[in-house]
Structure formats: C-alpha cells, structure tokens
Amino acid sequence: MSVTPPPMIRIGSAEIIALADGVGPFPFSSREEAFPDATAAHWAAVDRFDPGAVDAEGRWSLNFRAFAIRGPKGLTLVDTGIGPADAPATWAPLPGRLPESLAAAGIDPAEVDTVVLTHLHTDHIGWAVVTEEAVTTGGDGPSTDLSPFFPNAEYLIQRAEFDAVDMLNPKLRETLIDPLRASEQLRLLDGDAPLRAGRVVATPGHTPGHQSVVVADGRESALITGDLLVNAIQLLYPELAYVYEIDRETARRSRERLLRTEDGAVLHVASSHLTEPFVPMP
C-alpha cells in the first residue's frame, strides 16, 4: 500500500516538510476567552480564512505539528510534537504519530542532526526525549529510562528558556534537560543563530525564550512559527494578544516583526497549530 508523503514546500535548495502529530480540541478555554480583545468581526474574518479551526461541536480545533528542513548540508527538525502515550502533554490527543509522519517523509530519526525546540511547552517537546518503550510499544511500558529520540542531533534551546524552566515546568529538568545534558546533546543559544539551512530567530513573549526559524531564498521565505501565533486570528491581526502569552506586549512585537513583509516579498507561514501547515501571508 502506498504512503502519502507529507505536505512540503521548497525554498531555494531546502525542502520544508510538515509532520503531523495529532489534532484535537483546545481544552483550556473557548477561543473567545483565549483572545479577549477580538470582536465578532475579527472572528467572522477568521472563519472565512480558516474554517477548519472550529470542529463540529464549535470548539477551537488545534493541529499539532513538527517541521523538517532537509537541505544539502543536513536535516533539521523544528519541534517534536505532543509525544507518545506516556508523554506529559496529557491535555493533547496522545499518542502522537510523529514517527509515522517521519517514515512517510523518508526520514530516519538517526538522520536528524539538529532539533530546534521553539519553546518548552509540552505539545512542542513530546518526542524530544522518550523511554525505550515509547519507541517500541507506543509508550505503554513501565521503563523510566529516558533518552533522546533523535540520537545524533544537537538540541537547540534559547538560554532564556532554559533559565525559565522552573517557572515553565520544573519537571522538565528531570525529563528533558538532564537526559540531553547526559548525552551531551544540549546547546543553549543567546539570540539569533545560523542553521545549516535557514536561521533561528529569537521571538520572546509567548515564553521568555521562544524562538522561531526562518528559511529564505531571495525574496521568498518561510517562517516556522512555533507558538509565535496559535490561531489564524493572530495571522490576520498580529496585534491581538493571547491570554496564555507570558509577556503579551513582547509577544506582539515579536509577531509583528516576523510577519512584516516588504513589497514583492513572499512569506509562507509554517504553523504548528493552524488547519493548513503552510499559509501564505495574507
């Protein structure tokens, strides 16, 4: 039986591949509560632009994705999704299916040489570090022996995010940071940094050390957002705050800066949570 390859776009010599891990309703609030400054007119525009973001019961529906950047110099993964059945993102639709999406894209985890974690929320780090049983049985086993799912990759986190881990989720010291340090795969960044294809750009606000990835060729570029935006309303109206942003004003500035385009430039937004993985900047 043939396997449908994941969606992808090409920017110059780089392929950017969308890797689905799951889809499910947002459990913490309605979208109207999550964006309290949005008006009925805002939501009407969003529903025309991204009608799939509301499910049959009227709930805000989230996709959960990672992205691979395959270029002549290597293979980078941006975020690692919600994770296996024993992952900490218990509010999300576990288990995730990232391993199947990687296989459909022809990617062996051992090929990945760089993992960019946009931030340390559990729906973006789920497959970063796993138990052996998570790999072999989907996470049903009793083992607590954790190791990086991508054994040959350097994992990139902003130092500001690392410094805030006890505020964000203190359990991550044991379940993420310590295993990556033990395997000598953790690298801390201080702001923007080059990648083999593209570059990391610091985009704080959603969390203290949130980062995004930009891949550019001439006047065409792709922005892999992490949670720089979480709903199409922030793509259409970047000034609107999301209640779960730690610093809403800083998040707004980061979003407006990265979404700003010059005349004649083409920007593809590669989003973790929108209905479509690649959205041209309107």
Q: Establish if 252 belongs to a structural domain.
A: no
Q: Establish if 43 belongs to a structural domain.
A: yes
Q: Establish if 230 belongs to a structural domain.
A: no
pLDDT in tens, 18-50: 999 999 999 999 999 999 999 999 999 999 999
The total number of structural domains in the chain stands at: 1
**DSSP code per residue over 89-152:** -TTS-SSP-HHHHHHHTT--GGG--EEE-----GGGSTTTEEEHHHHHHSS-S----EEESSTT
Q: Establish if 170 belongs to a structural domain.
A: yes
Give the CATH number for residue 87: 3.60.15.10
* pTM score of the predicted model: 0.94
Residues 6+ apart with CB under 8 A from 199: 192, 193, 213, 214
Predicted local distance difference test score (pLDDT) of residue 281: 87
pLDDT in tens, 102-139: 999 999 999 999 999 999 999 999 999 998 766 555 44
Pairwise CA distance, residues 198 & 214, whole Å: 6
Q: Establish if 251 belongs to a structural domain.
A: no
Predicted local distance difference test score (pLDDT) of residue 132: 73
Pairwise CA distance, residues 195 & 93, whole Å: 31
Determine the structural domain holding residue 39 and report its residue range: 8-198
Predicted local distance difference test score (pLDDT) of residue 134: 64
